[in-house]
Amino acid sequence: MRITFVTPELTLSGGMLAIVGFANGLADRGYSVTLVSLRSRFDSLVELIDHRVAIVWTRLRLRPVPGHHLTNAMLALDLARVIPRSDVLVATYAPTALPVLLASALGRGQRYWMYADYREMFSSRPVEWWMVRNLPRFFRVVMTNSHASVAELKMYSNVDAVFVGLGLPRRDHLWPPARSQARPLVALYVGDSRPRKGLREFLRAGEIAHQSISQLRLQIVTKDDAAISCQVPFDHVVKPSARALADLYRGCGVFVSTSWSESLGIPPLEAMACGAPVVITDQRGARDYAVDGKNCLVVPTRDPKTTAEAIIRILTDQCLAERLSAAGLETAQQYRWETALDRFESALHTAPVENQC
């Protein structure tokens, strides 16, 4: 079977790491897999793609720009033009849905959608939000990585999506410390400077926690050169390697995820896999795995004060930290590619529901 994933740029993000994981896993199972992507100067994920996975680039060297409808329409047509004939075409992001529909209409394959978006992504992008609300019903099957996304698609698009989940990307680097050790007074954040990723709230929570823990240090990992100003001592690491990031997870005293929302949220799971106790906001998608008081501490979104209190609890209570760490390890172990790939294969054979074409 020939499976083609139509993607935006092959740049670093949790969603794209998941797509690469599916592509590599399916190639390992004997499928003929192709990634179709916009050509970019920042194709940082290419080195993670299995040699058996073909990559087809668009011809235009333009980048999508929110609100620039002509440019984005040209890119959509360019994507549709280079999509090869396949048995299965998979959209992976709202703007790639239209190219998949166009290619499918030309007889190049059945249309599927691996949905990892969420409504906050499109708060100022009405065209993409229209796509999320109106295009899913034209796909044979829409797959998601969380049950929260299943519920959202039902609410906004009236489509019965199929939960597939995912495995942990870059799993080879994710393991806990070899032995129990005293955790440093370090709070780690992984994300970027977009407001919905909660960096501002993390910094404010760090400042509040610093009033009680004077030796607190923050570690901030971003994929962009974010301008950071904070009263607490901090280290800023930009685009670390997978190995270096895993070492940061293993070496922190607490991992803190302050996103306003996520379709699932991979960094907290990676932190759990590395034995870090986790503080996480109630970001909807993470409800699949985040259980307050059991494997993490869950706090309200955009609430630095409560986040700071949770950071202080973990850094000053070794028993709590160890208990959350142990339970988090068990949680992360459930996110295995074998299971997600089985569900993906099953979804390919799911009959379309009545309101789909």
Structural domains in the chain, sorted by start: 2-166+337-348 (3.40.50.2000), 171-333 (3.40.50.2000)
Give the pLDDT confidence score for residue 352 in this predicted structure.
57
Give the pLDDT confidence score for residue 225 in this predicted structure.
87
300 vs 258: CA distance, rounded Å: 9
Give the pLDDT confidence score for residue 9 in this predicted structure.
84
- Kindly state the tokens that stand for 68: 């620039």
Give the pLDDT confidence score for residue 355 in this predicted structure.
40
Q: What is the DSSP letter of 89?
A: E
Give the pLDDT confidence score for residue 340 in this predicted structure.
97
Beta bridge partners of 279: 256, 297
Report how far apart, in Å, the C-alpha atoms of 97 and of each of 137, 146, 275 are.
11, 19, 38
Give the pLDDT confidence score for residue 354 in this predicted structure.
42
User: Residue 276's closest CA among 297, 299, 253, 303?
Assistant: 253
* 329, 300 Cβ separation under 8 angstroms: no
107 vs 40: CA distance, rounded Å: 28
Count Cα atoms within 13 angstroms, Cβ side, for 233. 7
Sheet with 217-222, strands from edge to edge, namely 234-238, 217-222, 186-191, 254-257, 278-281, 297-299
Beta strands in 119-185 (DSSP E): 141-144, 162-163
- Kindly state the tokens that stand for 176: 């806990």
Question: What tens-digit pLDDT sequence spans the chain (357 residues)?
Answer: 999 999 988 888 888 999 999 999 999 999 999 999 987 655 578 889 999 999 999 987 666 766 666 777 888 899 999 999 999 999 999 999 999 999 999 999 999 999 999 989 988 888 899 999 999 999 999 999 999 999 999 999 999 999 999 999 888 999 999 877 788 999 999 999 999 999 999 999 999 999 999 999 999 999 888 889 999 999 999 999 999 999 999 999 999 999 999 999 999 999 999 999 999 999 999 999 999 999 999 999 999 999 999 999 999 999 999 999 999 999 999 999 999 999 999 999 875 544 433
Residue burial 332-350, b: 16+ Cβ < 10 Å; e: rest: beebebeebbeebeebbee
User: Residue 56's closest CA among 99, 120, 110, 118?
Assistant: 99
- Kindly state the tokens that stand for 222: 């971003």
